[in-house]
Structure 1
Amino acid sequence: MKEPHSSQDNSTASSYSLVLFDGVCRFCNGWVQFLIRRDSADRFRFSAIQSDYAQALLSQSCTGGKPLPDSIIVIENGTVYTHSAAVLRIFRQLGRGWPLLYGFILVPRPLRDAAYRWIAKRRYAIFGKYDSCMVPTEQVRRKFFG
């Protein structure tokens, strides 16, 4: 795997939870900004799904032949989490009271994923879409791959 953009950070991508997100989705970009502000333990790294880096990574991942979502995917220690499981894995690692939301893991996955897919399917209509992927500020660029 490629190293983060910053030459000051010598950790590999596998040391972090990698969040792949739809780089043109306003909702997804807002979610990433939300995570960056709350990632006090520096656990997350990010890449737009549209990036060459994410595409190469996903082509190497074993997904059992199932199509991957095009909104949020989390990769931790080589394991790919999709749909509601991806979101819950993220909440589990945030500070303060956010890990309490991981309790929704007790809701049957088909119900959680149905809610996830409902939002994901309508995200452009509700929140809008950018013409291109976001360009991270210099301050947070080290958290981005690809």
Structure 2
Amino acid sequence: MDTVPVAGPIILFDAECILCSANAQFVLSHDGKKRFRLASMQGEVGSALYRRFGIDPANPDSIIVVDGEHMLRDSDAVLSIYAGLGWPWKVLSVFRLIPRFIRDPLYLLIARNRYRLFGKRDSCWLPSAEYRDRLL
């Protein structure tokens, strides 16, 4: 897939990870402005975006947020999502005051152990019909 939609921020997540899917559901239900779209790393769009930024979609260790040609990963991606949801979730942006060299190792510890800590689905999570237009 050469052409990937680039308008607006796209959250790439692991649809087999229970924690990641729960976070995707949270974003969809709390994103009143419908700012974010989501793509699973297992899907065509998600895999293409991971590859575009040099990440193996079969073995990613991070959530990423893509906005046009810009990409955020690790704790920066998570904090940008909550900032984009508006109040009261935007208050979590205060964690950006913690240096990335402290935030990212903690994030990566959880991300790399996500299946063991939270479980793995047998099949990819799909949103309810009301949110399908926001899943790429």
TM-score range normalised by the length of the shorter chain: 0.7 to 0.9
Unaligned runs of 5+ in 1: 3-12
Structure index of larger Rg: 1
The answer to whether the 8 Å contact 2:62/2:73 transfers is: no
**Any runs of at least 4 consecutive aligned residues in structure 1 with deviations exceeding 6 A, and if so which?**
none
- Residue 101 of structure 2 corresponds to residue 107 of structure 1: no
1:131 Cα deviation from its structure 2 partner: 1.1
1:119 Cα deviation from its structure 2 partner: 1.1
CA distance in 1, matches of 2:120, 2:104: 22
Q: 1:66-112 CA distances to partner (integer Å, 9 max, x unpaired)?
A: xx844411011321111000001101111222111112112111110
CA distance in 2, matches of 1:28, 1:47: 12
The answer to whether the 8 Å contact 2:18/2:120 transfers is: yes
Q: Residue 62 and residue 128 in structure 1: after superposition, are their counterparts in 2 closer, same or farther (change >3 A)?
A: closer
- Residue identity in the other structure for 1:43: R
Residue of structure 1 equivalent to 2:11: 19
Q: Give SS of 1:74's match.
A: strand
Residue of structure 2 equivalent to 1:90: 81
Q: Give SS of 1:139's match.
A: helix
Q: Give SS of 2:65's match.
A: strand
Residue of structure 2 equivalent to 1:45: 37
Normalising by structure 2, report the TM-score: 0.87
- Residue identity in the other structure for 1:144: L
- Residue identity in the other structure for 2:24: V
Normalising by structure 1, report the TM-score: 0.82
Q: Residue 118 and residue 42 in structure 1: after superposition, are their counterparts in 2 closer, same or farther (change >3 A)?
A: same
Residue of structure 1 equivalent to 2:52: 60
Q: Give SS of 2:6's match.
A: helix
CA distance in 2, matches of 1:117, 1:69: 11
Q: 1:103-133 CA distances to partner (integer Å, 9 max, x unpaired)?
A: 2112111110011011112211121100111
Residue of structure 1 equivalent to 2:107: 116
CA distance in 2, matches of 1:92, 1:107: 15
Residue of structure 2 equivalent to 1:10: none
Residue of structure 2 equivalent to 1:142: 133
Residue of structure 1 equivalent to 2:123: 132
Aligned pairs, how many?
131
Give the superposed CA RMSD.
1.8
